[in-house]
Structure formats: structure tokens, C-alpha cells
């Protein structure tokens, strides 16, 4: 019973926390864009415009909920739900800190430490496309369908290099458990570097982050919603909070991907050269590991914003060409080199 | 009474029937997706997490996405699937195939019950590492044969789709 309550608290906590990050991200996105484009951005609601997300939320909730007459009603409602579900579900296996000891009981800061966590992530990643497809199809609008088509082709193409990069990581650490991968990144590598995945898998990291941008439909891969070509792609017909759920789901997705990047390549909650567990108490260590983890996550979230407002969008054939002709061969090469290195050093 | 099994079994069968009878193509595909996911849940229940995840990644995440892709390319949302093959010979052939399939499944179920019986499972049953070891030791030949088969299929697909190589 006690374990059940702890698990429930963890689920609710991480859910609320990720929602909070997504809310703040909408603000960061707009202020970041303004900063990069040398203009003030939304700065009227509250200090630094921090209440802007709240105002946006109220606006989206109170707007009239329009379902187009020609739309497929049930599917239209289902679309945003299917889109945001996989993004949240990924947090079941992503660790968000080491462990915290409360009243003599050791609590791992992860909802479920399953030994197939890695496969679970890959499976969920392949589910994300349905929300976009269903939304685009249900809108019964040619731009929406084009957006859905693009999303399908893009996601299915970039899942392969994404999975190949992760496979190389699994080869290096020899486990499917995300927590074990995180734990293995303590200490130093080759004497001077932090023992992080990015130093053992530099090519894998580049492949993973490129594929992650494509999976999240972010610039330069936001072809499914390229406004200069197909209005707004799969969510052209959406308004009010249904659109809000799509936009929100995207930020939750970004947060999940950033957490995965940190877990696999940037030492999860470990600080370089410093072993926090050696001088912090059990409770403060738990909190510190949580904070360090999300400090790293926030950097990658900022990177998503930074890239969005700096890099122009690809052409569609370039996106497909990059995926199939560059990333997949490189992913296979990386897998081969990793296996070879492990074989030679073992 | 195994509630978990019955729940997902019923969902799988119901969504399967929905998939077959759906007039619109995309809801039909989503019905198939539901079937795949409930099957994966049943595999999880049978202590086979790897099979469950492969069920989702490969069938729901890759094959069905391709099916959906084709639906989106060939049809518009207002079109419905029309019943073109509504004659007696197709119907009777379908009935025979269905009955044969059920008979085959029943034989299979009986066979499994005889082989497995009420044996207790080893603690590491169905773990990915164990399956990998089996694949690369006892079943290496089968594994390689399957990979050659896939390669042949790949070459064939490219040959068919490209008229002038």
C-alpha cells in the first residue's frame, strides 16, 4: 500500500512538473524569439511577461470550440488526445534524479525502473505519428491532409536513425534500463573527460539530436506545419483548446526528448568531476540530483528554441534525402564502429 | 477468472470486428491499431515484454503507419470503402478460410497446452538478453536465413518499383 502511494505521488509529481515546464516553455519560446530577433516580445502581462502563458491559456479555454461542418467529428476530437498521450507516457521510464531517502526508505526518482525502458521509449516514439495523422485526416482539408502525409513520411524515416543511435548507446552500456545507463555515466572517461555518453558516442549524439528535431517537428524539420506552403498543416482547422493541446503536446514532447538526450548522452544527474553523493545528505542529494538533471534538460530546451529562430526550414526532398541518404548510413556505420570498438577493447 | 486477459481479449476481438466492418478507411486502421495494442498487452501479461514491444514498434509503429500513408495517398476523407466483392463464391471462400483458421488455432492451443502444461516459468523468462542469446546460438541459422529472406524481399521491392535501373 505504501509503495502504491509513493508511486502515485511520483506519477502526479512528474506529470505536474512537465506540464509546468511546458507552460514556461511557451513563454521562453516567445521571449527567446524576441531576443534573437532584437525586439522586446510579450512583456506586458506580469514581470517580464511571465503571466503571458496564463493569459494565453484563458484565451484558448474561453474561445468558441469550432468543429468544421465537413470534419469527421469523432476523429477530430481524438486527434489532439492521441498526440499528447505518448509524450506524457514516456515519463514512466525516464529517470528524473537519482534517489532520495525519506524516513529510512529509499525512493528512486523514476516512476518505473523496467528493464525494457529503452524499448518502451522506441515503441512510444513510433506512436506519436497517429495524433498528427488523425488530426489531419479528420479536418477534411487538403492542407491538413498534406501536413498529415508529410508527418507520416518524416516520422517513419527519422525513427530509423533515432533507433540506430539509441542502439549504439545500448551496446556501450549493455543494458535496456534507463536508470542503469544513467548510473553508468558517473566518474571520468579516459582520465580527463566526464564519463558521459556524448564522449563515447559523438556521432551517435549528432544523429540522435538531428533525428529528435525531426521527430518533434521542430524547425528545420517542421515541414508538417510549414506555414508558407500548407497554411498550418495538420492543425489548420483546429482552434481553441484543441489547438492548445496540440501546441502543448509539442512542448511536452520537447521536454521528453531533452530528458532523453540528457539521460543517454549527458550524464543524467551526474555533475562532471564532482560526486554529489559524497558530501550531501540523503535528502539534499535527492533534490540536488533532480535539480542538476533539469538544469541540463533546460539547456536542451533552450537549444530547441535557439535553433528554431536561427535556422531556416529545409525543402521537403532535402528532409527525406538527409534522413535516408545521410543519417541512416551514418547510423549503421556508427553501430558497426561501436561494435568493433567493444569487440577490440573487451 | 483472469480479468486482465478477458478485458484485452474482448477489446482485441471487438476492435478487430470494428476494423473489418468499418466503412471509412482511417477508423478501420485505428481499429486495427487498437487490436495490435491489446495484443501487446496480452503478450505483456504472458511475461513476454520483448514480443509486446516488437508488436507495437513493428506492427503498430511501422506497418500500420505505411497502411495509413497509403490510405491518405489514395483516398479522401469523404470517400467510403465500397463493397465490391459481394458475391457468393467470395463469401463461401471466406467462410471456409475462417473455419479452417479457427480449427488450426484450436489445434495449436491444444498442442501448446500439452507441451507447456502447468510448468513454472524460470525467473528470467522472456527477458530481452535471454532471447538474444538464444537467437545467436541455438537459432543462428534460422536467424540468418530470415535476414537473407528480408534482403531478397528488399531487392525485389526495389526492382519492381524502379522500372529502369
DSSP string, A264-294: HHS-TTPBTTB-GGGTS-HHHHHHHHHHHHH
Among residues A78, A239, A108, A101, which one has the least CA distance to residue A178? A108
Residues of B with Cβ-Cβ distance to A117 under 8 angstroms: none
Residues of B with Cβ-Cβ distance to A153 under 8 angstroms: 69
- pLDDT value for A310: 86
- pLDDT value for A103: 67
Q: Say yes or no for a CB contact (<8 Å) between B78 and A127.
A: no
Band of residue A201 on the pLDDT scale cut at 50, 70, 90: confident
Q: Is the pLDDT of residue A187 over 90?
A: no
Query: What are the φ/ψ torsions at residue B135 (nearest 5 degrees)?
Result: -60, -35
Alpha carbons A238 and A243: distance in angstroms, whole number: 5
Alpha carbons A76 and A57: distance in angstroms, whole number: 21
Report, as an integer, the average pLDDT of A312-334: 87
**Cell 564522449 belongs to which residue?**
A199
Which tens digits make up the pLDDT trace of B56-75?
Answer: 888 888 888 888 888 888 87
Peptide bond into A251 cis (omega under 30): no
Domain extents for chain B?
3-126
Looking at the DSSP assignment, which residues form a beta bridge with residue A107? A100
Radius of gyration from C-alpha coordinates of chain A: 21
| Contact B67/A at CB under 8 A | no
**Mean pLDDT, chain B, whole residue set:** 83
Residues of B with Cβ-Cβ distance to A320 under 8 angstroms: none
Q: How many domains does chain A have?
A: 1
Is A73 inside a domain boundary?
A: yes
Cell for A110?
523514476
Where does residue B132 rank: exposed (0-12), middle (13-18), buried (19+ CB within 10 A)? exposed
Band of residue B1 on the pLDDT scale cut at 50, 70, 90: low
Is A307 inside a domain boundary?
A: yes
Residues of A with Cβ-Cβ distance to B62 under 8 angstroms: 126, 156, 159
- C-alpha distances (whole Å) from A279 to each of A109, A288, A293, B64 are 19, 11, 18, 52
Chain A residues interacting with chain B (CB cutoff of 8 angstroms): 70, 72, 74-75, 78, 114-116, 119-120, 122-123, 125-127, 129-130, 133-134, 136-138, 140, 145, 148-149, 152-153, 155-156, 159, 176
3-state secondary structure B64-117: HHHHHHHHHHHCCCCCCCCCCCCCHHHHHHHHHHHHHHHHHHHHHHHHHHHHHC
Nearest-neighbour CA in chain A from B79: distance (Å): 11
Which tens digits make up the pLDDT trace of A36-58?
Answer: 888 888 888 778 878 888 888 88
**Cell 519560446 belongs to which residue?**
A29
- pLDDT value for B100: 93
Complex ipTM more than 0.85, yes or no: no
CB–CB contacts below 8 A, A to B: 77
- pLDDT value for B11: 92
> Is CATH 1.20.120.1200 correct for B3-126?
yes
CA angle A277, A278, A284 (to 5 degrees): 45
Q: Say yes or no for a CB contact (<8 Å) between B128 and A148.
A: no
Contact yes or no for A53/A98 (Cβ under 8 A): no
**Mean pLDDT, chain A, whole residue set:** 82
Looking at the DSSP assignment, which residues form a beta bridge with residue A274? A271
Is A49 inside a domain boundary?
A: no
Alpha carbons B16 and B7: distance in angstroms, whole number: 14
Helix (H, G, I), strand (E, B) or coil at A188: strand
Which tens digits make up the pLDDT trace of A148-183?
Answer: 888 888 888 888 888 888 888 888 888 888 888 888
**Cell 528512486 belongs to which residue?**
A108
Structure letter (DSSP) for residue B56: I
> Considering the entire predicted model, what is its pTM?
0.82
Q: Is the pLDDT of residue B81 over 90?
A: no
Minimal Cβ distance to B68: which of A114, A115, A152: A152
Residues of A with Cβ-Cβ distance to B60 under 8 angstroms: 126-127
Q: Can you spell out the DSSP letters for A218-259?
A: -TTS-GGG-HHHHTTGGGTT--HHHHHHHHHHHHHHHHHHHH
Q: Which of residues 26-55 of B touch A (CB under 8 A)?
A: 26-27, 30, 33, 49-50, 53
Q: Domain containing A289: what range?
A: 68-345
Amino acid at each position: 500500500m505504501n509503495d502504491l502511494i509513493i508511486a502515485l505521488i511520483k506519477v502526479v509529481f512528474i506529470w505536474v512538473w512537465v506540464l509546468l515546464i511546458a507552460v514556461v516553455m511557451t513563454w521562453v519560446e516567445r521571449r527567446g524569439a524576441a531576443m534573437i530577433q532584437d525586439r522586446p516580445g510579450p512583456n506586458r502581462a506580469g514581470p517580464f511577461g511571465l503571466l503571458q502563458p496564463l493569459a494565453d491559456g484563458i484565451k484558448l479555454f474561453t474561445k468558441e470550440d469550432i468543429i468544421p461542418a465537413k470534419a469527421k467529428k469523432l476523429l477530430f476530437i481524438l486527434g489532439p488526445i492521441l498526440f499528447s498521450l505518448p509524450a506524457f507516457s514516456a515519463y514512466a521510464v525516464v529517470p528524473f534524479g537519482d534517489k532520495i531517502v525519506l524516513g529510512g526508505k529509499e525512493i528512486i526518482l523514476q516512476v518505473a525502473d523496467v528493464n525494457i525502458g529503452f524499448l518502451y521509449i522506441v515503441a512510444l516514439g513510433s506512436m506519436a505519428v497517429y495524433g498528427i495523422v488523425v488530426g489531419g485526416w479528420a479536418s477534411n482539408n487538403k492542407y491538413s491532409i498534406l501536413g498529415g502525409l508529410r508527418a507520416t513520411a518524416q516520422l517513419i524515416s527519422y525513427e530509423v536513425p533515432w533507433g540506430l543511435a539509441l542502439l549504439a548507446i545500448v551496446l556501450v552500456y549493455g543494458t535496456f534500463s534507463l536508470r542503469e545507463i544513467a548510473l553508468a555515466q558517473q566518474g571520468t572517461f579516459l582520465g580527463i573527460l566526464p564519463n558521459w555518453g556524448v564522449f563515447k558516442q559523438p556521432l551517435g549524439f549528432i544523429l540522435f539530436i538531428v533525428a529528435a528535431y525531426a521527430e518533434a517537428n521542430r524547425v528545420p524539420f517542421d515541414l508538417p506545419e510549414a506555414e508558407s506552403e500548407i497554411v498550418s498543416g495538420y492543425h489548420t482547422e483546429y482552434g481553441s483548446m484543441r489547438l492548445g493541446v496540440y501546441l502543448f503536446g509539442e512542448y511536452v514532447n520537447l521536454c521528453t526528448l531533452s530528458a532523453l538526450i540528457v539521460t543517454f548522452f549527458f550524464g543524467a544527474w551526474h555533475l562532471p568531476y564532482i560526486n554529489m553523493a559524497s558530501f550531501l545528505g540523503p535528502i539534499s542529494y535527492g533534490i540536488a540530483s533532480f535539480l542538476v538533471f533539469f538544469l541540463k534538460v533546460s539547456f536542451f530546451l533552450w537549444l530547441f528554441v535557439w535553433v528554431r529562430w536561427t535556422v531556416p526550414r529545409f525543402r521537403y526532398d532535402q528532409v527525406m534525402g538527409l534522413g535516408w541518404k545521410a543519417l541512416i548510413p551514418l547510423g549503421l556505420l556508427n553501430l558497426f564502429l561501436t561494435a568493433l570498438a567493444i569487440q577490440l577493447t573487451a | 477468472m483472469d480479468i486482465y486477459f478477458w478485458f484485452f481479449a474482448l477489446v482485441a476481438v471487438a476492435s478487430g470486428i470494428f476494423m473489418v466492418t468499418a466503412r471509412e478507411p482511417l477508423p478501420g486502421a485505428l481499429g486495427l491499431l487498437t487490436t495490435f495494442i491489446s495484443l501487446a498487452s496480452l503478450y505483456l501479461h504472458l511475461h513476454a515484454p520483448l514480443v509486446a514491444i516488437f508488436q507495437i514498434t513493428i506492427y503498430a509503429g511501422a506497418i500500420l503507419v505505411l497502411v495509413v500513408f497509403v490510405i491518405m495517398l489514395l483516398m479522401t476523407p469523404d470517400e467510403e470503402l465500397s463493397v465490391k466483392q459481394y458475391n457468393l463464391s467470395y463469401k463461401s471462400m471466406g467462410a471456409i478460410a475462417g473455419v479452417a483458421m479457427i480449427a488450426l488455432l484450436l489445434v495449436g492451443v491444444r498442442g501448446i497446452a500439452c507441451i507447456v502444461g502447468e510448468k513454472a516459468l524460470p525467473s528470467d523468462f522472456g527477458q530481452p538478453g535471454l532471447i538474444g542469446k538464444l537467437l545467436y546460438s541455438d537459432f543462428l541459422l534460422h536467424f540468418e536465413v530470415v535476414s537473407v529472406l528480408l534482403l531478397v524481399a528488399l531487392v525485389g521491392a526495389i526492382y519492381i518499383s524502379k522500372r529502369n535501373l
